[in-house]
Structure 1
Amino acid sequence: MIAQHYVDMLGGKSVIRQLSEWSTARGTEIGYENVFDYSLGNPSVPCPPKFTQTMLRLLQTCDPVTLHGYSPTLTIPSVRAAVAENLRSRFGVPYTADHIFMTTGAAGALAHALRCVGVPGQNVITFAPYFSEYKPYVEGADMTLRVVPPRVEDFQIDFDGLEALLDKDTAAVLINTPNNPSGVAYSPETLRNLASCLQAASAKFGHHIFLISDEPYREIVFGGAAQQHPAAYYADTLTCYSFSKSLSLPGERIGYVAANPACEKAELIVPMCGQISRGTGHNCPASLIQLAVAECLDVTSDLSVYERNMELIYAELVRLGFTVLKPGGTFYIFPKALEEDATAFCRKAQDYDLALVPGDGFGCPGYFRMAYCIDTKKVERSFDALRRFVRDCYGR
């Protein structure tokens, strides 16, 4: 007998993946250079030279048996120590190696963090618009995802909405800043208010309500803004990070969980992650990649292309009359569609070889996402198709 739950999931295939597959198929017909694929958030800039050089050196000079062997259950101590020192020096939170656990990207980090602080039957609260995979992540841990409706005027947190959902069964609040899909970064004021809210709720309900901070876009912030670290605002925070965006390494599947040293049972979080790995079959990311990223914590890919693309797209959308917030980071922008049904809007865009993602799956109907991690020249060439689409279908 097979598991019906996963059979049922086959009917819920990601719209993002469907659009990406459509773009690829369409590209075989007309040339992919003529398909303006804003569907998938796949980094478009190469990893930094230092990462490549580090990989080559490790492969050429290290004992192969050691280099390609299993890492310790709690992941490589020297790597954990390097990550802790980097976070400590940047954000002033006194992490040590004992507070870091290396994972298979941010998804692996979230899988561990959710299981560290929640038990089956509890709920996790997040804020629309939110990354659509949060639902299977949370439900995979036998918990329920509750969604606070979007505050569309600025996509910061609606605290009245949050307080309405917090209850005795709330295990954690899950945030993503800078945010996929909106591109908005939570302000220091928002983070301070969130910390106060969670402190009050924890006291009210008699248990620690954790903050799980999903931060794969932490390094992609615009306008010279300071990078925020929510753990610096709230003690009971588990930070989930990925090097997929900062180092352009999505295929290497490497990230970490960082437990704020001041959180409840901080000394147990990493050992618990080791046991969670046993139960989920995670069993540590590749030793080679752990060692390589540990030497590249002070560099990023050339992330400036994303800000350049954002400025171009934002200006064009405003010129065409879209309602849109200017992103503070990531490589996403989230305009309001020109009709109430964003899915219909995005279907019409396909006739102009534009792949746009409707906001329904992000908990925000009526909006659509553009992932502008593509070549800048292609961004500029897409504007002719966008203008024709808007003119022909909406008279603008």
Structure 2
Amino acid sequence: MRPTHSELLTPLEEFTQLHWATVRRFGRRTVDLAFPNPQFLTDPRPYEVLASLASRAGPLDLRYSPFGGFTPVRRRLAGALAKQHSLPYTWNDIIMTPGATAGLRVVLRTVFASGDHVILISPCWMDYPLYLTDLGLSYTLVPSTRDKHLDPDAIEEAWTPGTRGVIISQPASPTGVIHDHTELQRLAAVLEGHARARSPLLIADEAHAHQVWDNTSCPSPAAYYAHTFTVRSFGKAWEMQGQRTGCLAVSPRLEPRSETTTALLRQMRIGGHCAPTALTQQLAAALCETAPYLKGLADLHRHARQHLHAAGVTVLDTHATRFLYARCPRADDRAFVSQLADRGVLVMPSSLFHERGWFRIALNLAGSDLDRAITTIGEECAHA
């Protein structure tokens, strides 16, 4: 039996209630490392560019845009993505969306039909199963390896005659793991091995692609498999998530290419999705070739991971995203997270991401508050 809408909605709703209750109880003493809402800037430039654009904006700068976004903006983003993916994107391959979530919803609704089967890699972003269930699509959660990398053999084993696609995130959310060349090559081989009447589709969620440091290679799945849709979020890169600015990119090698883009644009309208605001589209164009400053986030990552290890907490060694993924000292990760909340520290249980036994830390704070949270986590792990 597949989970119902209510069963899929309830875990996050319950955690949100815990979050609110903890903030009400502890007030400013709460150390909130749950939802990724950073309380400091690692790179002020996007805010400065946005302020400059707003100060110069006239009526025509803030006009309606087409459903796919302004053509000059799409052209700039296509050029930037072509360099990053080494693929010949054109402006018509890019659709501006109000955040990555809307882009995911639009592509799922467009390219799959009711009854299709989709493979997900767990742990995964919490609402993939919710979207698929709402669209009448079935899915299988395929566990990643012990170190949270792709397991192509398990993906192959989960394949059914009705399987029409796979969703992965790169870098992976919530773990921060980057899938390397060999993994993506093997995944492409699995997909190509099932290309019969029609090729299966790969949806690559690259919402955190701009948060990779230490010169770590983060190859795009689109470079390995022709029938790929890429979803991106600019808000996460700029640390202004609430501005809800993202894009959906159709691989230049996908067939049929133009008909698919037309169908996606129509689904934007059918689903009531407009392009992002005119101002944030201009911001996307202005910053699309600007790499964020990540040294502060990388240093914070290393600091937190080092101190968690010293406290006896197992943490994945990663070089991407604002997240740390830590092993829970007990099987019931939600109970452990509740224990931490009782001491004013908020983190997210991995069961929200369709895996048990871990928890996710969002590095929203630095300094003494973060160190206090790390000490608390270490103490609770030691006493578990």
Q: Between the two proteins, what is the percent identity of the paired residues?
A: 26
CA contact (8 A) 1:221 1:329 kept: yes
Shift of 1:123: 1.8
Deviates more, 1:118-127 or 1:346-355: 346-355
Of residues 357, 363, 370, the one that matches 1:379 is: 370
Partner of 2:158: 165
Deviates more, 1:189-198 or 1:366-375: 366-375
Q: Quick one: distance in 2 between partners of 1:145 and 1:358?
A: 22
CA contact (8 A) 2:180 2:218 kept: no
Q: Quick one: distance in 2 between partners of 1:327 and 1:246?
A: 17
Q: Quick one: distance in 2 between partners of 1:120 and 1:150?
A: 26
1:98 match: secondary structure = helix
Partner of 2:220: 229
Q: Quick one: distance in 2 between partners of 1:290 and 1:264?
A: 28
Letter aligned with residue 193 of structure 2: A
Equivalent runs, 1:12-51 vs 2, <5 Å: 12-28=11-27, 32=28, 34-46=29-41, 48-51=43-46
Letter aligned with residue 192 of structure 1: Q
Q: Quick one: distance in 2 between partners of 1:383 and 1:12?
A: 25
CA contact (8 A) 1:125 1:147 kept: yes
Of residues 127, 131, 146, the one that matches 2:140 is: 146
Shift of 1:289: 1.4
Shift of 1:15: 4.9
| Residue 298 of structure 1 pairs with residue 289 of structure 2 | yes
| Residue 260 of structure 1 pairs with residue 255 of structure 2 | no
Q: Quick one: distance in 2 between partners of 1:134 and 1:46?
A: 29
**TM-score w.r.t. structure 2 length?**
0.92
Q: Quick one: distance in 2 between partners of 1:10 and 1:215?
A: 24
CA contact (8 A) 2:123 2:174 kept: yes
1:295 match: secondary structure = helix
CA contact (8 A) 1:128 1:362 kept: yes
CA contact (8 A) 2:170 2:218 kept: no
Q: Quick one: distance in 1 between partners of 2:58 and 2:31?
A: 46
Partner of 1:327: 318
Letter aligned with residue 24 of structure 1: V
Q: 1:56 to 1:226 in 2, by over 3 A?
A: same
Q: Quick one: distance in 2 between partners of 1:138 and 1:6?
A: 10
Deviations 1:240-290 (A, max 9, x none): 000121111211111000011001211123221221012211122212211
Deviates more, 1:177-186 or 1:17-26: 17-26
CA contact (8 A) 2:120 2:168 kept: yes
Q: Quick one: distance in 2 between partners of 1:125 and 1:226?
A: 25
Shift of 1:150: 3.1
| Residue 365 of structure 1 pairs with residue 364 of structure 2 | no
CA contact (8 A) 1:36 1:382 kept: yes
Letter aligned with residue 98 of structure 1: N
2:327 match: secondary structure = coil
CA contact (8 A) 1:100 1:256 kept: yes
Equivalent runs, 1:244-259 vs 2, <5 Å: 244-259=235-250
| Residue 188 of structure 1 pairs with residue 181 of structure 2 | yes
CA contact (8 A) 1:317 1:324 kept: yes
Structure 1 unpaired stretches of 5+: none
**TM-score w.r.t. structure 1 length?**
0.89
Letter aligned with residue 179 of structure 1: A
Deviations 1:93-118 (A, max 9, x none): 11010100000110011011112321
RMSD over aligned Cα atoms = 2.2
Q: Quick one: distance in 1 between partners of 2:380 and 2:80?
A: 47
Equivalenced residues, count:
381
Q: Quick one: distance in 2 between partners of 1:117 and 1:274?
A: 12
CA contact (8 A) 1:45 1:303 kept: no
Deviates more, 1:305-314 or 1:373-382: 373-382
Of residues 98, 112, 119, the one that matches 2:92 is: 98
Equivalent runs, 1:64-83 vs 2, <5 Å: 64=59, 66-83=60-77
Q: Quick one: distance in 2 between partners of 1:285 and 1:192?
A: 34
Q: 1:249 to 1:224 in 2, by over 3 A?
A: same
Shift of 1:384: 3.0
Q: 1:37 to 1:58 in 2, by over 3 A?
A: closer
Deviations 1:346-390 (A, max 9, x none): 222223222122211212111111111323442223233234333
CA contact (8 A) 1:309 1:379 kept: no
Of residues 201, 207, 220, the one that matches 2:194 is: 201
